[in-house]
Amino acid sequence: MTNQHYDHCDLETFSRYPGRDVPLLVAGPVAELARKAGFTNVRALEPWTSARVDDLTVTAAPGKHGVYEITFVISGGGRSVYFGGDTMLIPELRTLSDRFGPLDVALLPTNGLQIRLALNKQVVMSAEEAAELTAALRPKLAVPHHYAFTSGTIGDKLATKGDKNPAHLVEAARRLAPGIPVKVINPGEPLTVAS
């Protein structure tokens, strides 16, 4: 859980898992919420710290959002995936390939979410910024996410605005990160990455 917003910290859904000992690797401020919800195997990660879950190593990387944010690099079996949560593009993220080696997949937020009530302050990277990060990281595959975020019909009109078109990352990556494929997947659709 990269932050405590409902779309990244859905403890109610996690509570449907059998038992409360499912491993939860979370941003620091989420740990207390998860423990209060009855979860017993909660580990708060700070940037550049890691935890093992079975055969996987999960390392927190920095992030920047409207609230405290971390992102994750998940490694195991000779593969690595970067999950960008809700982050803005910050300089530290450009070092991920140097720190972790080649990434197989980069899951990148792309909606450039802005808070209308805060003078359109941007709190999530845009598709153009995600393409810049794709060019810096050179993953084998980039996948846009967070483009389907909604704050509800009224909220979308009054509180937030963002780009809901994942094809904008495809277009931006063609210009800024040529040769790196971008795949748009639908919610619930599995992603298989060839060896």
Decide if 80 is inside a domain. yes
**Domain-embedded: residue 141:** yes
Confidence of residue 21 (pLDDT cuts 50, 70, 90): confident
Q: 16 vs 22, 38, 182, CA distance in Å?
A: 10, 12, 33
Q: Which CATH number is 125's domain given?
A: 3.60.15.10
Report pLDDT for 195.
66
- Among 141, 138, 150, 142, residue whose Cα is nearest residue 111: 150
Task: Report the share of the chain in percent with pLDDT over 70.
Answer: 97
Overall domain count for the chain: 1
Identify whether 110 is part of a domain.
yes
Domain of 170 in residue numbering reads as: 47-176
Mean pLDDT in residue range 162-181: 96
In a domain, 188, yes or no: no
The answer to whether 182 and 137 are in contact (CB under 8 A) is: no
**Is 4 a domain residue?**
no
Averaged pLDDT, 82-86:
96
- The answer to whether position 17 is within a domain reads no
Is residue 184 in some structural domain? no
- Average pLDDT of the residues of the chain: 92
Looking at the domain assignment, is residue 191 inside a domain?
no
Residue 3 binned pLDDT confidence (cut-offs 50, 70, 90): low
Residue 125 has pLDDT above 90, yes or no: yes
DSSP string for residues in 112-176: --EEGGGTTEE-S-BHHHHHHHHHHH--SEEEEESTT---HHHHHHHTEE----THHHHHHHHHH
pTM (2 decimals)?
0.92
